[in-house]
Amino acid sequence: MELVLAESALPPTPEEYGVGARVSLQPMSDRFIDIILGALDDAGGGQGTLRITTGVVSTLVSGGDEEALARYLTALIAAAARRSAGAHLTAQVMLSRGCPGEIACAFVSGPWGSEKPVVLEPTGVQVVAEWSLYPLLGVIDDTDDHMMPIMAAIDAAKVSGLFDSSDHYVTRLAGDLAEVIALVVTAWRRTGSWVQHVTTHLALSINSPTARSNS
Amino acid sequence: MELVLAESALPPTPEEYGVGARVSLQPMSDRFIDIILGALDDAGGGQGTLRITTGVVSTLVSGGDEEALARYLTALIAAAARRSAGAHLTAQVMLSRGCPGEIACAFVSGPWGSEKPVVLEPTGVQVVAEWSLYPLLGVIDDTDDHMMPIMAAIDAAKVSGLFDSSDHYVTRLAGDLAEVIALVVTAWRRTGSWVQHVTTHLALSINSPTARSNS
């Protein structure tokens, strides 16, 4: 890996730090095109410096900080849930930080993470979700204990009241969409306090007939 | 992280090594329940020792080796594509290896990975996919160059003819479903030659109206 130390003493911008998300919506409905395009329209083009770039498989959200990403993702998925009007909807979110060069991860100096929690207004949209968190670049204290940030994130989930269960490869969360997104974005940013390159994946399920039949 | 060396000199079984997958299907159709249940039925309960455990958000596939997982995932998604009959379908696949304890990753001795390619019969189902590969536990040669296995995987994709493009956080692949699954499972297992705990995520899109309008 090429290590390129930033020359400036200023903290990197989210863009310089490679902070961004990919998101996709799956309305299980014949009306899926209207629901997806309508939700993108409802959520707007992104406030401030945020850029929304749609693609064939997913939509890239970049150019903003962690709060801006969290607000946009919540607004987009809540809009899709409203437009789905009770139909089953899933959404996939991935977040990445600390690999601004995409393939060649340049090293960026500065405060990588933060203990600051992301706070969002509840949406009233209930979700069940499967979450995984991946600290990729060697842990700073050199013990190479890559499970430490993961355990810290799971502990935070348990305190939050959103923890549902642990399963193979994922942690299951349940609660308000905004609270789940806030928990995951907070944990992902916090893991940046120990590790530069951190990704996280969240698979969200709304109005699942399986969940209804189990309840 | 707790390091527990296996006492036996025998290589670990896939189960002991934590080899498994989670998969979910999203038919964008009012008929989504019939398509998903029908595809699970078509793919069968898993051959040999393979176990299929459905959940609210995704289905766990475990108890088999990499070839068995690859065959099952391909059969399941191809069956859903056939039953979708031209409707848009997406599927999410995650693969994990090397963390059999789920939360506490016990260390397992033995040959972790393999250069052997997974080979599957083409299905005739064309997909576009976004792929990410995560080597999690410290790289064996101690250079901590976690991008090396990722670059090796992207190079293999380029040689395969399935490489479409690199984008933020993902590599885009396009081709036959079976060839894409085989490429991803091969790269994931091969990364196990350098790193114990390796996960990979694949978001598949079939019959996308966006892809059609772009072609």
Rounded to two decimals, the ipTM of the complex is 0.91
Q: Which chain A positions have a beta carbon within 8 Å of B129's beta carbon?
A: 57
Distance CA A44, CA A42 (A): 5
Cβ distance of A103 and B151 shorter than 8 Å: yes
- Residue A4: pLDDT over 50: no
Rounded Cα gap, residues B49 and A164, in angstroms: 29
pLDDT confidence of residue B99: 82
Tokens of B155: 């190079």
A73/A77 Cα distance (integer angstroms): 6
Phi then psi for residue B120, to 5 deg, are -130, 150
pLDDT tens for A85-96 read 999 999 999 999
Across the interface, do B29 and A24 touch by the CB < 8 Å criterion? no
Instruction: State the Cα–Cα distance between residues B105 and B22, nearest whole angstrom.
Output: 18
| pLDDT more than 90, % of chain A | 62
Structure-model confidence comparison of residues A105 and A15, the more confident one: A15
Q: Say what the pLDDT of residue B114 is.
A: 87
Q: Say what the pLDDT of residue A107 is.
A: 66
Residues of chain B by 3-state class (helix, strand, coil), percent to 5:
30, 25, 45
| Integer Rg of chain B from CA | 17
CB pairs under 8 A between A and B: 166
Please name the member of B56, B58, B136 whose beta carbon is closest to the beta carbon of A134. Answer: B136
Region of poorest pLDDT, from B80-94, B140-154, B165-179: B140-154
Q: Are the Cβ atoms of A57 and B130 closer than 8 angstroms? A: yes
* A7 pLDDT higher than 80: no
Better-scored residue on pLDDT, B46 or B55: B55
pLDDT averaged over every residue in chain A? 87
Residue whose structure tokens are 């299929």: B52
pLDDT tier, B5 (very low <50, low <70, confident <90, very high otherwise): very low
The one-letter amino acid code at A17 reads Y
Average pLDDT (A66-93) is: 97
pTM of the entire predicted model? 0.91
Neighbour tally for A126: CB within 10 Å:
15
pLDDT confidence bin for A16, thresholds 50/70/90: confident
Residue B109, pLDDT score: 67
List the single range of A41-50, A134-143, B27-36 with lowest mean pLDDT.
Answer: A134-143
What is the rounded (10 degree) CA torsion for B77, B91, A97, A191?
-90
- Is the pLDDT score of B211 beyond 60? yes
- Residue partners of A166: CB distance under 8 A and separation at least 6: A154, A172, B102, B103
- Inter-chain touch A32–B28, beta carbons under 8 Å: yes
pLDDT, tens digit, for every residue of B22-35? 999 999 999 999 99
What is the pLDDT averaged over residues A148-167?
88
Interchain CB distance below 8 Å, A168 and B20: yes
Q: Flag whether pLDDT at B70 surpasses 60.
A: yes
All residues of chain A having their beta carbon less than 8 Å from the beta carbon of residue B29 are 28-30
Q: Phi then psi for B73, rounded to 5 degrees?
A: -60, -40
Cβ-contact B173, B211 below 8 angstroms: no
Q: What percent of chain A has pLDDT over 70?
A: 83
Which of A58-62, A153-157, B40-44, B203-207 has the weakest average pLDDT? A153-157
What integer best gives the mean pLDDT of chain B?
A: 87
Instruction: Note whether A54 contacts B210, CB cutoff 8 Å.
Output: yes
Contact B166, B111 (CB under 8 A): no
Nearest partner of A198 among A93, A112, A128, judged by Cα: A112
The SS3 call for residue A27 is: strand
Nearest CA in chain A to B97: A169
pLDDT at position B135 over 80: yes
A28–B29: do the CB atoms touch at under 8 Å?
yes
The residue ranges of DSSP E strands in chain A, in sequence order, are 20-27, 51-54, 59-62, 89-97, 126-135, 163-167, 170-176, 198-206
* Chain A CA closest to residue B27: A28
Range B134-158 average pLDDT = 74
Q: Which residue has better confidence, B15 or A31?
A: A31
What pLDDT sits at residue A2? Answer: 39
